[in-house]
A and B are shown apart, each in its own frame.
Chain A
Amino acid sequence: MTKIQIPSPLRQYTEKQATVSVAAKTVGDALTGLVAQHPELKRHLYSDDGKLRAFVNVYVNDEDMRYLQKEATALHDGDTISIVPSIAGGLADPVPVP
């Protein structure tokens, strides 16, 4: 199982859980599993054409997946995926939906 760390702006869509566990072999599978468990997350993570939104970064342990094999990055036991959206400050910009 892989743990996915959910950033606080998105926890309202995962029933307030800060961590969601999924069974997956690749990062892409893990994210698919995540939105299958919590469908409300989909439009916050993905645009209409199915691409991961540009203001959301996905890390495997401490490496940005863009510099690994992106969604094809293989996952091993004990890996942690972190979703890191951009935040702007005390005015609390949430991850908005267009």
Chain B
Amino acid sequence: MATAIDAQPEAVLSNDEILRYSRHLIMPEVGMTGQQKLKAAKVLCIGAGGLGSPLALYLTAAGVGTLGIVDFDVVDYTNLQRQIIHTTNDVGRKKLDSAAEKLKAINPFLNLRTFETRLTSANALDLFREFDIVADGTDNFPTRYLVNDACVLTGKPNVYGSIFRFEGQASVFATEDGPCYRCLYPEPPPPGLVPSCAEGGVLGILPGLVGVIQATETIKLILGQGESLAGRLLLVDSLAMKFRELKLRKNPDCPVCGKNPTVTKLIDYEEFCGIRGQEEPAGNDVPSISVEDLKKKLDAKADIFILDVREPHEYQICNLSGYLIPVGDLPKRVSELDSSREIIAHCKMGGRSAKAVNFLRRSGFKKVYNLTGGITAWAEKIDPKMPKY
């Protein structure tokens, strides 16, 4: 139950603040001392998106004195399904500006510091040194490893959360005696070759669930109360609404936080994750046809077979009246296709259909082509009345 941050100079609470935080103050676990610790604390949030939204909102409401946010992105329409700090009016606006407005409205006592930059090996260490705790709300592997290493090197706890579809993970890494992210995952997965649409998507509430768990852990670290998730990996399955815990151990041979660390400065994380020198997405050398040429063929009533390799729920959103075989089912159902016909395969954006074309060609189909840009390109260039998703 050790406090994870160094003792801070006393923060003074005004009468307004005492009234604002009364529901905290009347609990012995917080009290005046705890609220003063919150006010004196400095937390850095990496990302003002899905996880960052609830994190920043709740830390601000709770009275964390100084909040730093790192984000270089702009609000997109598709963000609104889950990034609840942003509203419809904010679409097109910098996420930092949008977030700052809402956070200041919730709590004018907040000292907000915004960093409109990409977190890199060049700036991370200096930035982290100015804060007590780092909350990682990012969405890619290179940054996660960067945040972890920088936290270990600067001695700042890393409140970790991550999500995928409807499942999440949460923990606290890089405390003095606890494991770091690399103790759990020494190496990142190699990057995918083609961006995957089929595996994408996230339940809108999920970053809310996990982000508030991160905010809770941050506040507990500041107060020195309760048992932190350091040394435990919390697994959240929102569909089953089951929470499981796995034990995490500090790896004595960890290259960053172990007894004989070999990583003593920040590295090139894109290279570490194998992203530099990555191959061109496989779609580029697959025999293809453009949406314009497909339209010409359809208008000329050419004898073509349109194969839709998306999932049934996508077909319901919009379709080209294609024959639906989801890409994952193709090996089992390839006998339903006639290799003597000209087949044009499409998916949402061209990634899955490229895989399908490669598979069919390897299986002996000669007249099969990928629709470049997928049904999205069709909606953009040929039929604007078709919904995009």
Interface residues of A (CB under 8 A from B): 7-9, 12, 18, 53-55, 57, 59, 62-64, 67, 82, 84-98
| Contact A86–B247 (Cβ < 8 Å) | no
Also in contact, A84 and B235, with CB within 8 A (given A93-B189, A95-B189, A96-B190): yes
| Contact B249–A90 (Cβ < 8 Å) | no
Also in contact, A96 and B192, with CB within 8 A (given A64-B246, A88-B139): yes
Q: Which residues on the B side are within 8 Å of A53 (C-beta)?
A: 189
| Contact B192–A86 (Cβ < 8 Å) | no
Give Cα A55 to B165, complex, Å: 18
Q: Rank and list the top 7 A-B pairs by shortest CB-CB distance, nearest first.
A: A89-B139, A96-B192, A94-B199, A54-B187, A87-B164, A91-B139, A90-B50
Give Cα A84 to B232, complex, Å: 13
| Contact B247–A96 (Cβ < 8 Å) | no
Q: Which residues on the A side are within 8 Å of B226 (C-beta)?
A: none
Interface residues of B (CB under 8 A from A): 49-51, 82, 137-141, 144, 162-167, 169, 184-193, 196, 198-202, 206-207, 233, 235, 240, 244-249, 328
CB of A97, distance to nearest CB on chain B (Å): 8
Q: Which residues on the A side are within 8 Å of B165 (C-beta)?
A: 8-9, 92
Other A-B contacts than A89-B164, A94-B196, A96-B192, 16 sampled, CB-CB below 8 A, are A12-B199, A18-B240, A53-B189, A57-B184, A82-B235, A84-B233, A85-B189, A86-B141, A86-B184, A87-B164, A88-B139, A88-B141, A88-B164, A90-B49, A90-B50, A95-B189
Also in contact, A84 and B189, with CB within 8 A (given A8-B165, A90-B82, A92-B200): no
| Contact B246–A93 (Cβ < 8 Å) | no
Chain A residue nearest to B197 (CB atoms) is: A92
| Contact B245–A62 (Cβ < 8 Å) | yes
CB of B308, distance to nearest CB on chain A (Å): 18
Give Cα A72 to B165, complex, Å: 33
Most buried by B among A53, A55, A88: A88
Give Cα A86 to B379, complex, Å: 35
